[in-house]
Structure 1
Amino acid sequence: MATQTMTATEAPDTTTLQVVDIDSSAELTKSEQLKMQEAWLHLLRLCGTSVAHDTAPELTAHLTSMLTNKSPESFRETLWNFILAEHPDAPVLRFMRARKWDVRQAMEMLVSALNWRDERRIDHDIIGKGESVGLQSEMSKDDQGFISQYQSGKSYVRGADKEGRPLYVIKVRLHDPKNQTSEAMENYVLHNIESIKTMLSFPNDKACLIFDLTGFGLKNMDFHVVKFLVTVFEARYPETLGLVLIHKAPFVFWGIWSIIKGWLDPVIASKINFTSSTKDLLKFVDKDQLHCSYGGDDTWEYKYIDPVPGENERMEQVEKRNEVRGDRDELAKQFEQATLSWLSKEPHSEEWKQLNDSRRAIASQLRSNYWTLDPYIRARSYYHRSGMIGASGEVDFKAAK
């Protein structure tokens, strides 16, 4: 199949990215800003904040009815856990854009995603336990299957594309659906997405996926995993994919593709490109960021770094964790209060700009606080042990030697 092309902007250095203090909503139109204000109005109401404005109370009531056994306090906790180190506008923007600025649909989608995070125990199991299950003297079948995925080297982040987005490489020939449970694979997928989320920052807040189909055969095909990937990227992590490269698809794949493409949302389908040569890949990835097996200069080889006893000891320091969380909660309240005043102001007016500056300053403090909190709530991952993710949130996509 002919390779699709796209325009890519070269960045001076796409290997190392430092999270910067950028207002991710600064370039929105007045109409979009008004919709962002309405979105936050509903979120504040769901968090239990009293909002004087009478805008769309029926929508807030509808969203409240969607919450599954969730109090305003627990919804607020889930929301702020989801925000992580980003400017709080950033995740809201992704859902708004995914639903083409329809506030009702975007908020329904966001509330549904937050419900799902609780149901899947993302904060407790995927983030809180993560690779630490590899330190257990006796692992369950699902835990063994989860760790074996990392040990296999079937997928990893290495380098960045021309837009500065991290490259997540998936070597499909190393996957055998019979070697692990579906639950283990789903947990592995979610753990990778949550890890990659910590590497993203505006304006490079999306990832580039390379599905390497070299040596692919029918034994490697896992329709369950593909469908799961499609579902979570569309409904749970919208606007997180920037580009998908399907590399060296063999003849046997095209019959399978006729099935898969029917599952794809048009937005995700538009991001997919087929490549078959180094020349094709170099349209999207600079040579120094591309592995030598694809014709690039990078000779690095993946080797899993096992969890180290004691690396998660800070997760046991409950008093210190609660202290840092208390600081974060206070900052979140400050952001909410600034937002409460901001949502009633005319976009781009002087009052609006001043309040938006206040929100941005608080967001910067929230980011710093998050990276203090991170080791108390997130089990260390391969990306921490390899040096790719630094203690202050700095990211080096080629740190591992």
Structure 2
Amino acid sequence: MALRLCSSFNHPLIAPNVSVGTTHRFRKSSVRSCIPEAKESRKLVLEVKEKLEKEYHSLPVGRNGRDDEDMIFWFLKDRRFSAEEAVSKLTKAIKWRQEFGVSELTEEAVKVVAQTGKGYVHDFLDVNNRPVLVVVASKHVPEAYDPAEDEKLCVFLIEEALSKLPAGQEQILGIVDLRGFGTENADLKFLTFLFDVFYYYYPRRLAQVLFVDAPFVFKPIWQLVKPLVKSYASLVRFCSTETVRQEYFTEETVPKSFCD
């Protein structure tokens, strides 16, 4: 019997250590999340690669294309090594990247919206060695810019954060600074877009989302959004600036805006 190396249960939309329900469901999910040995994994990667070439020949090739074996392996892992499910999700992701123009996004292309300071990738990693994407909610005014421009900035920053992943690290930390948040900053459509992007196109890349110092007015908004993002809500942690400083950074690496 071939040896199989099982990873701990870690659904892309369920945070570690979160109860999944009955013991039966947990065992079933755990078995399905087992990573095949190298030889079998390689076989699955080639199977998906061949299927994509045969059935979706028009898709682009190269990095993040239909023949990108690292990307194929990542989506196989996300789909618990179901080749059929991986092909389906990969096809959608590659088409989206092509239509959205992800490879064409540059600092210059998002410069105007980026200058608002509503989002940025922090210069330092957190204590868990993860790149950090910071969103300053009070600086996001939906009516000020075309929603498409905000979406471009969002994807550009995700790509930038992922480019900073150190060896052995696979996920990033998201921080949403809610200090000063008001109803004029509420944008359910954009927040849903953000979670959709992480689920469909960057699966398992988001380790956790910190909602920092959420004001009372944000709570009912979150209750409206929560059902839309479904299990992704389990990645969210409401916390204070003090928690951010003490648990996620050192004195030298904490973002300046959280030093006060």
Please classify the TM superposition score into its range, dividing by the shorter chain length: 0.7 to 0.9
Partner SS state of residue 249, structure 2: coil
Partner of 1:34: 40
Question: Do the aligned partners of residues 39 and 179 (structure 1) sit closer, same or farther apart at CA in structure 2, a change above 3 Å counting?
Answer: same
1:100 deviates by 3.0
Partner of 1:81: 63
Partner of 1:252: 217
Partner of 2:27: none
Q: How does 1:38-187 map to 2 (within 5 A)?
A: 38-47=44-53, 64=55, 67=56, 72=57, 74-75=58-59, 78-82=60-64, 89-123=69-103, 125-126=104-105, 130-133=106-109, 146-158=110-122, 159-187=124-152
**Count, aligned residues:** 227
Higher relative contact order by CA 8 Å / sep ≥ 6: 1 or 2?
1
Question: Do the aligned partners of residues 102 and 172 (structure 1) sit closer, same or farther apart at CA in structure 2, a change above 3 Å counting?
Answer: same
Question: Do the aligned partners of residues 6 and 283 (structure 1) sit closer, same or farther apart at CA in structure 2, a change above 3 Å counting?
Answer: farther
Partner of 2:154: 189
1:32 deviates by 7.6
Partner SS state of residue 62, structure 2: helix
Question: Do the aligned partners of residues 114 and 44 (structure 1) sit closer, same or farther apart at CA in structure 2, a change above 3 Å counting?
Answer: same
TM-score by length of 2: 0.77
What percent identity do the matched residue pairs reach?
25
After TM superposition, what 4+ stretches of structure 1 lie above 3 angstroms from structure 2? 28-33
Question: Hey, what's the Cα distance between the residues in 1 that align with 2:256 and 2:156?
Answer: 27
Question: Hey, what's the Cα distance between the residues in 1 that align with 2:183 and 2:230?
Answer: 25
1:224 deviates by 1.8
Question: Hey, what's the Cα distance between the residues in 2 that align with 1:249 and 1:208?
Answer: 18
RMSD in angstroms over aligned alpha carbons? Answer: 2.6
Question: Hey, what's the Cα distance between the residues in 1 that align with 2:221 and 2:240?
Answer: 18
Unaligned runs of 5+ in 2: 1-14, 18-33
Partner SS state of residue 251, structure 1: coil
Partner SS state of residue 63, structure 2: helix
Partner SS state of residue 64, structure 2: helix
Partner of 1:294: 258
Partner of 2:170: 205
Question: Do the aligned partners of residues 122 and 293 (structure 1) sit closer, same or farther apart at CA in structure 2, a change above 3 Å counting?
Answer: closer
Question: Hey, what's the Cα distance between the residues in 2 that align with 1:175 and 1:275?
Answer: 20
Question: Do the aligned partners of residues 89 and 42 (structure 1) sit closer, same or farther apart at CA in structure 2, a change above 3 Å counting?
Answer: closer
Unaligned runs of 5+ in 1: 8-27, 49-63, 134-145, 297-401
CA contact under 8 A between 1:210 and 1:247: conserved in structure 2? yes
CA contact under 8 A between 1:39 and 1:107: conserved in structure 2? no
